[in-house]
Amino acid sequence: MAPPAIEKSSAIRILVADQHPVIRIGVENLLQTEAGIKVVGQAGNSDQAIAGIQDLRPNILLLALNLPGLGAMHTVMSDSPETTTILLVNVISRDEILKAIELNARGLVIKEELIGSLLPAIRAVSAGKYWIGNHRAANFAAALETPAPPKIPAERQIYLTPRELEVLQSVLKGSSNRDIAQQFQLSEETVKRHLSNIFDKTGVSTRLELALFAIEHQLVASHH
């Protein structure tokens, strides 16, 4: 049997806390092929996140800034020095940087840039560095002096049919094509066709990108 020290250092243990199931699933899929990184749990609200931190002792908590019940996280995070936090945010401005300092986080990653920025952010934070947006940083104080300009989403008119919106809502809940087909009594081929149309209209190519796009552009109602 391997000594505990080898087991403990074999992988960076990640807990993903976001209210949207498809983002949690997408992040897990994004990281599951990476050597030395293991997603050990998911949380959809602060109670689940607190339980996950206490039970799973992750090295890194990926925490969405809009997680329901975020206020309850402060105490448990300060009591868990072995867990380092990276905040997942929609924009990076002074408010987000101040919140990161308040939560004792070491990284800020914009949700729309997850696919390119999440992995280097995890590597940087694990090495004791700070991460802001898409680059390493010495600390957050310097960023406060010259904050990044707020990210303004491009104005795009996206017209989805009522059925496409229903399919999109199901994707956000983490449903598979088979689940969606059963829910709406459609064939899986029809569901795939709807998804293909949605991907074409939004200009994205994966479920994770679609979820991020839908949330950013408020194409569907948020889940609370």
Residue 2 confidence (pLDDT) above 70: no
Which is more confident, 3 or 144?
144
- For residues 40 and 100, membership in a common domain is answered with yes
In a domain, 222, yes or no: no
Query: Could you read off the pLDDT of 52-77 as tens digits, one per residue?
Result: 999 999 999 999 998 988 888 877 77
Residue 51 lies in a domain: yes
User: What pLDDT, on the 0 to 100 scale, is given for residue 1?
Assistant: 53
Q: Examine the domain organization and report whether 17 and 92 are in the same domain.
A: yes
Cα–Cα distance measured from residue 130 to residue 112, given in angstroms and rounded to the nearest whole number: 19
Closest CA to 131 of 161, 114, 106, 151: 106
What is the rounded average pLDDT of the residues 122-136?
Answer: 91
> What total number of domains does the chain contain?
2
pLDDT tens for 174-203 read 888 999 999 999 999 999 999 999 999 988
Same domain membership, residue 212 and residue 114: no
Confidence of residue 6 (pLDDT cuts 50, 70, 90): very low
Give the residue from 203, 219, 215, 200 showing the smallest Cα distance to 110: 215
> Around Cβ 53, how many Cβ atoms within 10 Å?
24
Q: How far is CA 126 from the centre of its chain?
A: 17
Q: In CATH, what number is assigned to the domain containing residue 173? A: 1.10.10.10
Assigned domain for 194 exists:
yes
Residue 28, pLDDT score: 93
Instruction: Indicate whether 114 and 37 sit together in one domain.
Output: yes
Other C-beta atoms lying within 10 Å of the C-beta of residue 148: 17
Helices (H), 36-161: 46-56, 73-78, 94-102, 114-126, 140-145
Burial 70-97 (b: 16+ CB within 10 A, else e): beebeebbeebeebbbbbbbbbbeeebb
Question: d(Cα 123, Cα 136) in Å, to the nearest integer?
Answer: 10
Angle between helices 21-31 and 162-172 (to 10 degrees): 60
Tokens of 174: 């983490």
Tell me the whole-structure pTM to 2 decimals. 0.72
Residues 26, 105, single domain; the answer is yes
Cβ count within 10 A of residue 115 = 14
Q: Please give the residue range of the domain that contains residue 131.
A: 4-145
Instruction: Give pLDDT, residue 207.
Output: 84
Measure the CA–CA gap between 212 and 218, rounded to whole angstroms.
10
pLDDT at position 4 is 43
Q: For position 106, which CATH number holds?
A: 3.40.50.2300
Q: Are the C-beta atoms of 73 and 53 separated by less than 8 Å?
A: no
